[in-house]
Amino acid sequence: MTHPTLTLSQITEVVNDAYEIFRHDRSGHNASYIPYLADVPSELFGIAVCLCSGESVAVGDTDYLFGIESVSKVPTAILAMEQQGAEYVLEHIGANATGLPFNSILALLLEKEHPSTPLVNAGAIAACSMIEPRGDRAGKSEAIASFAGRLCGSRLPLIGELYRSESETNFNNRSILWLLRQENRLFDDPQTALDLYTEQCSLGVTARQLAVAGATISNDGFNPVSREQVFDRRLAPQIISLIATVGFYERTGEWLFRSGIPAKTGVGGGIMATVPGLMGIATFSPPLDESGNSVRGQKAITYIARKLGLNVYGSSRPVIAR
Ligand code: GLN
């Protein structure tokens, strides 16, 4: 089996082409159920790639600070596995797709003997409750934010206005919280768990930072920019399997079918993709499809994946020239 060799300049060319092809695409709509997100300029668009060597490519609005939203479920899931062990998280939260929207109450009601995943709202709130030091709101908040920052190679600031906007309107998540409590699926104070979840979703991130996070996961937990081993390398295939299973919620199968790349989306318009052993790819573009996944980001990553032959289910992925 031959493995084509890719150079940084070939990757740069394909990323620039993707940007040019999709830069005028206006399909989709900003998330509107969180007032702050409705007002983010829809035309913003950026694509960033970080290779496992630490080299990077960026085009467009890759330094714009946007709400990380559900992509934050990934670092917190890794942190929960680091702290409690992967089997504990599997047993107490799960690793299955729900096949339903990210904030589905129906999924939660159906789940009693069939736990789902830390990458949908219910499981993510449960994961926040699991984070150490339990009983210490400030300590848990710092643990979550600093771990996310280490994954991204630099600290993620809280967007205070987004946090307030989301806290005032998160009625659906409050319902999920109390159903979790009813089923004994929380491991710390309920209000704190929801508040930490809302806070982690309100962290600001750039596409460049998300590409570094994707590269760190692709690189067995070793951040190629900060040169830090951020998490136990044995957890990398496990977090990638969680991402592949449910990264686009009820549209995950379609996404994988088209792109062949495990990736996680957020309603802030970010997508973080991981190509194990090769690179992280991140896009930022606020307009979403009906499942809450960035429309232009999906098109751009799919284009890049096809042009560069990155499908993780294929047998001849490229190697990158040194
Ligand atoms: N904070 C958002 C929510 O809970 C995150 C959703 C998302 O990005 N899919 O609704």
Residue 286 in contact with ligand 1 by CB distance below 6 A: no
Per-residue pLDDT tens for 68-110?
Answer: 999 999 999 999 999 999 999 999 999 999 899 999 999 999 8
- Structure pTM? 0.97
C-alpha closest to that of 72 among 199, 248, 231:
199
Nearest CA to ligand 1 atom 10: 103
Q: Which amino acid is at 278?
A: L
Q: Report the separation in Å between the CA atom of 166 and the middle of ligand 1, taken as the mean of its atom positions.
A: 9
Residue 243: exposure state from Cβ atoms within 10 A (0-12, 13-18, ≥19): buried
State the closest ligand 1 atom to the C-alpha of 102, by its place in the atom list counted from 1: 9
Per-residue pLDDT tens for 4-42?
Answer: 899 999 999 999 999 999 999 999 999 999 999 999 999
Q: Do domains 5-67+204-320 and 70-201 have the same CATH topology?
A: yes
Residue 46 contacts residue 64 (beta carbons within 8 Å): yes
Q: What is the CATH number of domain 5-67+204-320?
A: 3.40.710.10
Per-residue pLDDT tens for 252-262?
Answer: 999 999 999 99
- Report the residue among 68, 69, 291 best suited for mutation to probe ligand 1: largest number of ligand atoms under 8 A from its CB: 69
- Domain positions in the chain are 5-67+204-320, 70-201
Residue 248 in contact with ligand 1 by CB distance below 6 A: no
Neighbours of 93 (CB within 10 A): 29
For domain 70-201, the CATH architecture is 3-Layer(aba) Sandwich (3.40)
Q: What is the mean pLDDT of the chain?
A: 96
**Matching residue, tokens 């090769």:** 278
Please give the average per-residue pLDDT across 203-225, as a whole number: 98
Residue 288 in contact with ligand 1 by CB distance below 6 A: no
Q: Report the separation in Å between the CA atom of 3 and the middle of ligand 1, taken as the mean of its atom positions.
A: 38
What's the Cα-to-Cα distance from 152 to each of 48, 156, 197, rounded to whole Å? Answer: 13, 8, 18
Q: Report the separation in Å between the CA atom of 288 and the middle of ligand 1, taken as the mean of its atom positions.
A: 12
Q: Which residues are CB-neighbours of 145 under 8 A, at least 6 positions away?
A: 155, 156, 158, 199, 200, 203
Instruction: Give the whole-angstrom CA distance, residue 311 versus residue 320.
Output: 15
Neighbours of 32 (CB within 10 A): 11
State the closest ligand 1 atom to the C-alpha of 249, by its place in the atom list counted from 1: 9
Instruction: Give the whole-angstrom CA distance, residue 80 versus residue 182.
Output: 22
Q: Report the separation in Å between the CA atom of 197 and the middle of ligand 1, taken as the mean of its atom positions.
A: 9
Residue 294, classed as helix, strand or coil, is: strand
Nearest CA to ligand 1 atom 6: 70
Q: Which residues are CB-neighbours of 24 under 8 A, at least 6 positions away?
A: none
